[in-house]
Structure 1
Amino acid sequence: MILDHEMNRGPAMAEQRLSYEDVKASRAKSLGAGVHQADPDKVSRETTLSEIDSLGLNANLAELESIGYTTVKAAISPDLVTRARQGIVRAMERKTGAAVDVENESGEVFNGISLAHYLLFEDEVFEDIALAPEPLALINYLLGRSSKLSSMTCHFKGPGGACLPLHSDNGNGMPAPFSMTSQVANVNYALTPYSEEAGALGMVPGSHRLCRQPRSDEIMLGGDHGNPNAVAMDLEPGDAVVWHGNTWHGSFERTVPGIRMNLATYFARHYVVTQERFGEYVPPEFIERHANNPLMLRLLGQEQGYGWDASGPDWAKFAKAPRGQFD
């Protein structure tokens, strides 16, 4: 999405854009004034840590550092849970042409995992969840205050199928050893009750420090060959698990009737390619609705300087580009 109305950029508008020389001069002025020369993202780090403290998330932060994931209880309200479930059911019924029976599905129609992709624009409830303050504060810590939304997906799980094998979210060819500075991170909202028999999310504590994908003998969940270090996440609807991009996770096979629903809200650092095409296209009505919400526009990649056309870079975006881990 190009914010100035799909490239209808006239000469007057082009003249208003910052030049490369403007950006260089601005940065030189900052450095000349001694603005955080030794620690360029000090302000961002202190802002994020202050937010985490004010939200009562210091224990969650300690868990993120020590085991690679943390649970935020009641991260979204019951109303948001209900509306999100309704939106996902509508999307799945439209996609499959089959009626959804959330409570009684036997596995005949929905067997194992089906995916509902690209949910952000499905219903305004998903916009509200993307901005949930407690998980977002932890994402800012993991990925910096310039991070982007990469995708919003439901793993719509009926009985049967198989487990979702353990893996790290460092995909798209990211080589090992992984950086201990998280490049991607996930917020997994439970929209139905989670237990091992209900097909819960499974996590491996401390796996973020291994800085690699699991081997073939480490990927299974449950049964005789399951990874013995994996933990089933017992969650109530509205709870959220936030994890470092290195952390191994998967989900157990569902062995009871009904549908398990989640909302996997996946984020990436400013420079990482997103899974869904938010930076490339955003519906005009969405942009209009959030015109005065710079946070949402940032999450949708509208501050990313790369990806210019023949008119060249928008240097104003480079003037705001991150300079450090927390920026």
Structure 2
Amino acid sequence: MRKTYYLFNPGRLSRKDNTLQYTAYDEQGLPEQVKYLPIEDVADLYVFGSLDANSALYNFLGKNGVSVHFFDYYEHYTGSFMAKEYLLAGKLQVQQTQHYTSRLKRLALARKFVEGSAFNLLKNLRYYQSRGRDVATEIDQIDGYVAALPFAGAVDELMGLEGNIRQVYYGAFDRLVPAEYHFGTRTTQPPQNELNALLSFGNMLCYAACLSQIYHTQLNPTISFLHEPGTRRFSLALDLAEVFKPLLVDRLIFRVLNKKEIQSRDFVQELDRCVLKESARKTVVRVFEERLKETIQHRSLKRSVSYQHLLKLECYKLTKHLMQMEEYKPFKAWW
């Protein structure tokens, strides 16, 4: 089975026969360690350090369907190299475009994404409420916003409700993690504290994971419904990520902080930003990968599927909706 590889150190990636050769550099920029990755074992690469590569290498990656996602020093997602869109189908692309240009069709899909996101984050809050954390006020407020979703008449209104839901949700974080962490307000560019740094990094991992699964379907990742196409290149991944961030990112944050897998010493507080140390990024990536591989018993399929496969199933469900085969219903956790 093909795997995701994460490159944290500066280094050089090159082709050696039918193998990827990765040479890591030390702090002085000298070759330190060489690893070989058989191309047939690589699904995609996440690059967090500076990477030297040439066009011949990217041609090799493209021919073998390997995507590369880039992140800067501050954990911001900066872009992707995507292999040729080999699965795009004309008929589906026409339908996807028509669902975007039709106000009612787009609104219906955008509403589904917000409903799925709200349901899953409420699931997180109710889990902690049942374990003695007082988040009842936040649950009631979010329920009120959810009740207003059917009456939103424009995508901008839905985005406003989604923003209100998130604001209330993040207001409960201080009661779900150890006392030394304080959320404050959501800050992204740059994140101002530990919780915001974890959220930004985790959200980017989730976005890239969704993009990778979209690429292996016939969907066009540039045509979205909740987020406006053009603000980000692959905006459909942002739509899907809304549904899965409460499960893949928020639960990860609660785990690593409550189990002290990451502590205050694992962050660097700079003049105007907070960033994770490399060791903390590796911990987040490890837990994120564990989560993607974790399996659940799927209610409809009657078999165990991984969270990573759930992302692809979500793409298939969206495809069926666009082709008018079956109404799209966002994934909602039942545990």
TM-score in terms of structure 1 length: 0.23
Determine which structure has the larger helix proportion and give its number: 2
Higher relative contact order (CA 8 A, sep 6+): 1
